[in-house]
């Protein structure tokens, strides 16, 4: 499990949602957590392209590859606190990307990071939550 408090209660391949800008504002992401060896190894390999508003959070993870993938993805490297350290937009198939200071990596559909207005230095930790724990008014 991660050291990010908002994610500690999640199990492998559980879903969560994250506010990409500020808590209690739109847009939100549906994020699948991959924190086990095999779920991280598989990642998005042989999976259909991510849909807008969906992502895969790999924990721990400081590097990714797109070998055997048929589509590009946006890669968002985050530190333990959930702060964005680096964004690699539209990483094409058969490429690699890494950030030595990253602890977790969020994979998004190509173009999503720009659509959501994500920027290095921005924190996503405050917006990560388990949907089962969310309160709806």
What pLDDT shows up at residue 123?
93
Q: Which residues, at least 6 apart from 81, have a Cβ–Cβ distance to it below 8 Å?
A: 4, 123, 125
What pLDDT shows up at residue 126?
56
Q: Output the CA–CA distances (angstroms, integers) from residue 36 to 13, 75, 87, 104, 132, in the order listed.
A: 9, 19, 23, 13, 21
Rounded Cα distance, 102 and 99, in Å: 6
Q: Name the residue ranges covered by the structural domains of the chain.
A: 15-126
pLDDT in tens, the chain (137 residues): 233 323 332 333 444 445 444 444 446 789 999 999 989 988 898 888 999 999 999 999 999 999 999 999 999 999 999 999 999 999 999 999 999 999 999 999 999 999 999 999 999 865 443 333 332 32
Q: Output the CA–CA distances (angstroms, integers) from residue 60 to 1, 33, 106, in the order listed.
A: 8, 11, 11
What pLDDT shows up at residue 27?
61
Q: Which CATH class is domain 15-126?
A: mainly beta
């Amino acid at each position: 499990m991660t050291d990010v408090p908002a994610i500690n209660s999640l199990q492998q391949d559980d879903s969560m949602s994250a506010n990409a800008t500020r808590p209690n504002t739109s847009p939100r992401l549906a994020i699948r957590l991959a924190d086990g060896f095999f779920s991280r190894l598989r990642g998005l390999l042989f999976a259909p392209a991510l849909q807008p508003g969906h992502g895969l959070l790999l924990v721990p993870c400081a590097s990714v590859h797109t070998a055997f993938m048929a589509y590009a993805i946006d890669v968002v490297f985050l530190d333990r606190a959930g702060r964005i350290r680096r964004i690699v937009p539209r990483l094409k198939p058969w490429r690699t990307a890494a950030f030595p200071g990253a602890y977790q990596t969020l994979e998004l559909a190509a173009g999503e990071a720009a659509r959501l207005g994500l920027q290095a230095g921005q924190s996503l930790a405050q917006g990560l939550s388990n949907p089962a724990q969310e309160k709806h008014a």
